[in-house]
Amino acid sequence: MKTSTPRPAGRPRSQEADAAILSAALDLLIENGAGQTSIEQVAKRAGVTRATVYRRFADKTALLVRALEWINHDHDPDFTGWRDIDHMFDDWAAHLAVTRNRRLLRRLYGSVDDYPELMKTYHEVNGGLRATVVREMLVRTREEGLLPAERDLDVVQEMLTAAVINHLGSHPDDEGAPAIKAYFLAIMRQFGYRPA
């Protein structure tokens, strides 16, 4: 009598397929924008079937949100914040010095008009993790006496976000990280930031 080895329930998920789908979604988001990206296009670009994509993601919004979390390392357990504000701006500048990152951010901000559910859902799912860490860094900077005590940190944080958006639209994509960091430091000096 022949006995068969029991098979695990369901097929194991392929990490290669996951990465291909997320990468394809990001490429298409950058190339076409959120409104013009479809599950069918993602499947074709990733070399998988539509069913494979739908087994992983309920819809296009869920797919794009997960792709953004993936590329931004939003759930990276190793990320606990920055040593200081100088380190934070090093990180921001390195990120913004990469043309692909800049194009992705422009598409993300542009989706407010052509696919508003993307930004809304991303912020709901992400829970403002990065914004919280930035806020903690600003509080610590003020507590260390490097920002005036009376400075409204809500305004400072809003202006830094606006500075990122401004940089994406008004500075060349090939600007290097040192120049980008200098841009943020110049803005912080207007708020009274005085490094030790």
**pLDDT tens track for 24-70:** 999 999 999 999 999 999 999 999 999 999 999 999 999 999 999 98
Model pLDDT, residue 158: 96
| CB atoms inside a 10 Å sphere around CB 192 | 14
Cα pseudo-dihedral 152, 156, 191, 90, rounded to 10:
140
Smallest CA-to-CA distance from 56 within 6, 115, 16, 105 is with: 16
- Kindly tell me if the per-residue pLDDT of 141 is higher than 80: yes
Smallest CA-to-CA distance from 177 within 73, 101, 124 is with: 101
- Kindly tell me if the per-residue pLDDT of 11 is higher than 70: no
Model pLDDT, residue 78: 79
- Kindly tell me if the per-residue pLDDT of 3 is higher than 80: no
Q: Please provide the average confidence, as pLDDT, over all residues in the chain.
A: 90
